[in-house]
Amino acid sequence: MPITIKDVKTIITQPGKSQLIIVKVITSEPGLYGLGCATYKQRFHAVHTAIEKHIKPFVLGRDVSRIEEMWQMAMVNGYWRNGPVMNNAISGIDQALWDIKGKLAGMPVYQLLGGKVREGAHVYVHCDGRSPEQVVDNIRAFQQQGIRYFRVQLGIYGGISEEMVKPENAPAGAYFDPKAYMRDTLNLLAHIRAELGDEIELLHDVHERLTPIDAVQFAKDCEPFKLFFLEDVLPPEQTAWFRNIRQQCATPLAMGELFNNPHEWQPLIANRQIDFIRMHISQMGGLTPARNVAAFANMFGVRTAWHGPSDTSPVGHTVNIHLDMWAPNFGIQEWYRPKPLDYDIFPGLPEVRNGYLYLNDQPGLGIDINEELAAKYPPKDEVIDWTQARLPDGTPARP
């Protein structure tokens, strides 16, 4: 008799800034279950409803071994597809099924993918500051912990713009000045290189906050600073401009955290217009499509750099690392520096030692959840402020 899905449980917890959605797939085999990440913090209620009202009834009673079939059918069962809410809901099931398959095989998930090609995954950390001097001080502190890759930002996305002149009666919003941001960031990069030299690896995230032509110029201006990569220099709606950037400079480019649909990433990879693909794995539908994208990107010399901020759950981070251990075209892994509470709620969460991220090599994903402790940190409703971005004159802008 096949082992089947007996129940699906959606666990929402918020031990930090982000509302995390964990899917627990309970099987007909006593004591056997799997965990998956469905975290979409900005719309967590919608994902919860999608799982409970649509995905759960669809998967109940199905054979847990048929991961590919279940993913393919779930993606088209609602007919319209490739949106962030349903992709995350499907991802929760998909990742949990891989966890179950690994437990049944007595192997870590990376073994099911083809086995390790490395022992640890290099990580980068966010290193922000209110001034170039503060950013340098923060880098030096992280260097003491063995970190060698640093995403540097002055302030937060769009920089620091207290001196901005706004129109009368300007509405509330997260204002930023693109021209000031570009100048300040270039000065930041120059200061870091002057203080710390060329040995450290620097990354920077534009977060889609430039017009296409300014993005071309900014990528060119970053070239002398030898970035490891420049991230999200364009919004998904303007990816055709990557051709212009590629023709004019050699700054390595990373893109993908907002992608939902294969038509968004396939041309950029096939045309070799980016160097790193960095989707949010639950946003694209789970481990199954991420595995396929990594293999596809490898054929074109594009490396992986999966999205890994605090609004990826510890389960999602663990899935990232299994892919990192296996993929021959692994590039770098974003790491959010979890707190002790994260390790208490999610026993088995991977650990960083001397700049490398390591799994525990337990069967499946190797991570669990303390549901009783997670329940002590219920999710909080909020209206997201930082995505209410505006230009100096108040025009709504990409966040």
| pLDDT value for 397 | 93
284 close to 40: Cβ distance less than 8 angstroms: no
Rounded CA-CA distance 293/299 in Å is 10
| pLDDT value for 74 | 97
Tokens linked to 69: 């079939």
| pLDDT value for 143 | 97
Rounded CA-CA distance 200/169 in Å is 45
Domain boundaries, the chain: 5-107, 112-363
Active site residue 157: yes
Active site residue 191: no
Tens-digit pLDDT string for the chain (399 aa): 999 999 999 999 999 999 999 999 999 999 999 999 999 999 999 999 999 999 999 999 999 999 999 999 999 999 999 999 999 999 999 999 999 999 999 999 999 999 999 999 999 999 999 999 999 999 999 999 999 999 999 988 888 876 788 899 999 999 999 999 999 999 999 999 999 999 999 999 999 999 999 999 999 999 999 999 999 999 999 999 999 999 999 999 999 999 999 999 999 999 999 999 999 999 999 999 999 999 999 999 999 999 999 999 999 999 999 999 999 999 999 999 999 999 999 999 999 999 999 999 999 999 999 999 999 999 999 999 999 999 999 999 999
Tokens linked to 29: 């085999």
Rounded to two decimals, what is the model's pTM? 0.96
Which residue's entry shows tokens 């449980």?
Answer: 9
| pLDDT value for 276 | 98
What ranges in the chain are assigned the alpha helix state H?
44-50, 56-59, 67-77, 84-105, 109-113, 132-143, 178-196, 212-222, 242-248, 262-270, 287-298, 314-326, 340-345, 371-374
Distance of CA 388 to the CA centre of its chain: 21
| pLDDT value for 165 | 87
Among 3.20.20.120, 3.30.565.10, 3.40.50.620, 3.40.50.300, what is the CATH number of 112-363?
Answer: 3.20.20.120
Per the residue annotation, which of 122, 126, 204, 207 is the catalytic one?
207
Per the residue annotation, which of 149, 157, 175, 336 is the catalytic one?
157
What element of type H or E holds 333? strand 333-334
Which residue's entry shows tokens 């941001």?
Answer: 181
| pLDDT value for 158 | 84
The fold for domain 5-107 equals Enolase-like; domain 1 (3.30.390)
Rounded CA-CA distance 264/260 in Å is 7
Please, what sign has the CA dihedral across residues 197, 199, 200, 202?
positive
| pLDDT value for 136 | 98
Tokens linked to 269: 């990879």
Rounded CA-CA distance 20/131 in Å is 32
